Structure 1
């Protein structure tokens, strides 16, 4: 019998990186004055991910992954 603490790692999903195209779509929607909530609903991506991508784009000028 497994306890809840040993089973939690099996239940957690592995996150996958968004493609450059999807990140570009997010920035494009942002430039078209769509809200983070609207972008999240359109692309079915969490709001925290959307805001992180937009923040990174504003700071670095790119959405590419950094080494």
Structure 2
């Protein structure tokens, strides 16, 4: 399990103390932060020029959780809705996506095409 990230304010204080010439050990004692953490924060600042948390590696989801939940609500309201209708409603929500993307998201969340057609109920706990 990863530990909690330090706040940007604390990281900025560490960087400002480093720029003023204070040593790692004095900083860690004054701010009650481990010396290795002080070193890694300063290394990150030297490398990227910022103390903000940078985005992680990996592809972003085409359909975000908010849009996915909205589509599921729409399917629950009307089990006879088609993928084309779901696509047009996702475009209205500001999440343009293809029919195949919506279908894949639906399958990954435990639904199936038959539940869109209305022949089967959604499984429990799909949200």
Instruction: Give yes or no for TM over 0.5.
Output: yes
Equivalence for 2:11: 23
Q: Return 5+ residue gaps in structure 2 as ranges.
A: 56-127
Q: Normalising by structure 2, report the TM-score.
A: 0.41
Higher relative contact order (CA 8 A, sep 6+): 1
Looking at structure 2, the residues matched to 15 and 44 of structure 1 have their Cα atoms a distance apart, in angstroms, of: 16
Q: Tell me, yes or no, if structure 1 residue 53 matches structure 2 residue 51.
A: no
Q: Return 5+ residue gaps in structure 1 as ranges.
A: 1-12
1:57 offset after TM fit, Å? 0.5
1:50 offset after TM fit, Å? 0.3
Q: Tell me, yes or no, if structure 1 residue 33 matches structure 2 residue 21.
A: yes
What is the RMSD computed on CA atoms of the aligned residues? 1.4
1:63 to 51, 57, 67: 51
Which stretches of structure 1, 4 residues or more, deviate above 4 A after TM superposition?
A: none
Q: Normalising by structure 1, report the TM-score.
A: 0.76
- Normalized per residue, the structure richer in helix is 1
